[in-house]
Amino acid sequence: MPALPELLASITQQFVAQSWIEVTAVILAVAYVWLAARENIWCWPCALVSTGLYTWLFWEVSLIFHTLLNGYYLLMAVYGWRQWKRQESEDIPIRSWSIQTHFLRVALLTVIAFALTTFASMWLDSQYLYLDAFITVFSVYTTIMVAHKVLENWLYWIVINSFACYLYFAKEMYLTGVLFIFYVLFAVYGYLNWRQQQLGKRYAASASA
C-alpha cells in the first residue's frame, strides 16, 4: 500500500484519467446505495446501468468472481424493482431475522465460499482469489436481503464493503476503493434509517391497536 501522499496523487491521477464508463458507473453506484438507504425504488434502475458498466470493468482487471457478481446484479436489479413494486402496493414492512438464522446462513455461505475458491483455484491463479470469492458469495446473498427489505442487510454490507475496499486498493483501483469507503458510510446510514422507519411503523401499529 503506497504512502498517503502517493495514494492521494494516484487517486487524483486515476480520476482525471478515468473513462466516462467508470465515472458513470461510480456516480450511478452512489445514487443506487443512497436511494436504497432511503427506500426509494429508483435505486434499481441506477443499479442496472451501474452494474452493467462494472461487469465490463472488472473483466478488464481480471476479477472473475466480481465480473460474475455484477452480471448477477443485472438480474437482481430487475428482480429488486419488481419486488419493491409489489411491496409498495401491498405495504410490506421492513423485516428482521433472528440471530440464529443469520448465524446458520453465514456458516453456510462461508462453506460455499471456501468450496468455490477450492474449485476455482484449479483453473485460476490469483493472489486475492479467496477474498474475491468471499465478497462475491456474501454479496449475492445480501442483495437478496435488500430486495426483501431485511434490516440486517446493511450490517452485512458494512463488513462486505470494508473488505471490498481493501481489495480494490490492493488492485490499484483507487477510485472504486474510495467509492466503497462511502459505501460503508452509506450502509451505516441505511441501517439507522431503516431501523428508525421500522420502529416508527411498529409504534404506529401499536398506537392504532
What are the pLDDT digits (tens) for 167-184? 888 877 777 788 889 889
Nearest to 47 by CA among 34, 65, 28, 71: 28
Instruction: Between 120 and 146, name the one with better pLDDT.
Output: 146
The answer to whether 144 and 136 are in contact (CB under 8 A) is no
The answer to whether 58 and 70 are in contact (CB under 8 A) is yes
Mean pLDDT score across all residues of the chain: 83
Q: Does a structural domain hold residue 50?
A: yes
Cell numbers for 4: 498517503
Q: Does a structural domain hold residue 1?
A: no
Q: Does a structural domain hold residue 14?
A: no
Q: Does a structural domain hold residue 12?
A: no
The count of C-alpha atoms lying within 13 angstroms of the C-alpha of 25, restricted to the half-sphere facing its C-beta, is 19
Based on the structure, what is the number of domains in the chain? 1
How far is 179 from 162, CA to CA, in rounded Å?
A: 11
Q: Does a structural domain hold residue 7?
A: no
Neighbours of 200 (CB within 10 A): 10
Q: Does a structural domain hold residue 47?
A: yes
What is the pLDDT at residue 187? 93
Nearest to 156 by CA among 208, 94, 105: 105
Which residues constitute the domain of residue 44? 20-204
For residue 150, what are the β-bridge partners? 95
Q: Please, what is the end-to-end C-alpha distance for the chain in angstroms?
A: 57
Instruction: Between 57 and 154, name the one with better pLDDT.
Output: 154
Model's pTM, two decimal places? Answer: 0.77
For residue 90, what is the enclosing H or E element? Answer: helix 64-90
Helix (H/G/I), strand (E/B), else coil: 94: coil
Q: Does a structural domain hold residue 6?
A: no
Q: Does a structural domain hold residue 209?
A: no
Nearest to 116 by CA among 135, 142, 94, 88: 135
The string of pLDDT tens digits covering residues 13-71 is 655 555 677 778 888 988 988 898 888 889 999 999 998 888 887 777 666 777 887 88
| pLDDT of 86 above 70 | yes
